[in-house]
Structure 1
Amino acid sequence: MVWFETILVVLTLLTGIVWLLDKLFLARRRAARGGLLDEEPVLVDYSRAFFPVLAVVLILRSFIAEPYKIPSASMMPNLLIGDFILVNKFTYGLRLPINNKKFISISEPKRGDVVVFKPPHDPENNWIKRIIGLPGDRIAFQGNTLTINDQAMSYQTLGTYTGRGVAQGTESAALLQENLPGRPHEILEGDRAEGQGEWVVPAGHYFVMGDNRDNSQDGRLWPEVGADGQLLPDHNFLPEENLRGKAFLIWLNCEGWVCKDGFDASRIGTRIQ
């Protein structure tokens, strides 16, 4: 969340400034007056203790990996409600905290990547979906069949999915393997076939979809108007600057407060494909 990131940056800067001022000036003044160690101000003491910790957390979270929790069923069967995941923050380039502005480019997103981002109509929150369309692609979704650049994806039926954990019994959908070029993956398919249409991905944008096709608010269904009431050009597409990183690992599955609704140890260490 933006507020947590902002608080982390502010606290890191404040404690760092206090520590630096003390090291360069205040400590010398106390020594010149014959001050003792126990006369050190409380603020300086806390800043010296917390600044290294806050700085390490900020660097790791902003430039290495950031944890997220899956809140919805939109990426089932691959990501479940209660999964705690890690997101690689440097795969696509290094970005500044808070404003997410990229200052070093490293690589470009690939088709099939599972990414965390801020959707154009809900910029205060992080969402997670799979990249289906790259800039310039022609995407169509008709009758539960995905077509990319006039090539219809092939599907293999794997059985019926009935849900796991919190979603147990709430899902009853066909479990399929969608053979996305270079990234085959499992999806859920119901009988509603929502979000049908055709799109051409503009430059600097991506088209994203959830793996739970009938239960995902993704690029097919994003509104034309943002939370501020302003019209959103290219509202079906994810702007590159809204990317937060690439999801790569499940490190915990815990449902409910203190795992009271379930704990699935088998998901620990699962790579996100």
Structure 2
Amino acid sequence: MEWQTLGSTPFLLPLYWRAALKRKITGSTLPELGLRCRVSVNPQDVAAYRKVCGFTDSPILPATYPHILAFGLQMQLLTDKRFPFPLLGLVHLSNRIRIHRPLGAVSDLNIAVHAQNLKPHAKGATFNVVTTVEDSLGLLWEAESRMLCRGVKLDGEAADNGLPIPTQVSELTRWKAPADIGRRYARVSGDYNPIHLSALTAKLFGFPQAIAHGLWNKARTLAALGEHLPAANIEIHVEFKKPVRLPSEVTLHTSAAGSSGELLLKGTGDLEHMAGKWQPIA
């Protein structure tokens, strides 16, 4: 792996231009490239994120917040000339985070991202974007986002190792995903993917209306779970099913509070949007 250390987090606008201009698959192997950067946590940015995602005030960062700190690095990696797949059109299938220690009293962090684990899939190929966050004591938080690129041809059998749909769950709460939540989340995350911003821009990519960001759905769910979940030594894995079209109302079903459990996010007509589980880190 060739690691590049950046002096500051990347400026997003040129990366969006780069993403918009690349529409073709240019290869079938992932580059041996990793990016690293030191970032500072800005309390105003965290407060804005909490508001959009429904987290209450706390001295501990929201469990999903490191994704926001890493977004620029992930964008730079996925729009690098050596990266073979176009960023626009990638589908976020699942996300797993591990919180090794409580995310409290956090100011300066070292963040690293790379891609690995390219595998055949029934609709193309999947790979993982791996993000690690370290403080002065070592590994604090890590994540794997599994992405699908349609139309990639790889040798080998497509494995289907999805999460089973939880059955021992009951309704915990419900909330509305308003029409503007894609734009509001984009402002706090930097993720201006057109499928989330408006019906007009979503239609350009084949969606009848805008859809909520998967990581907003996950963040809003973890905000609702709040006290249900341990603050550390926890792994939270979700799979994104049917998109949440905006606006709509969703219902969160979960098992009882504890060190491990399951969750299911449903829409109208029992449409399954997201299934997940949490457990201690193995």
Note whether the superposition's TM-score is higher than 0.5.
Answer: no
Q: Give the greater-gyration-radius structure (CA).
A: 1
Shorter-chain TM-score bucket reads: under 0.3
Relative to the length of structure 1, the TM-score reads 0.22
Relative to the length of structure 2, the TM-score reads 0.21
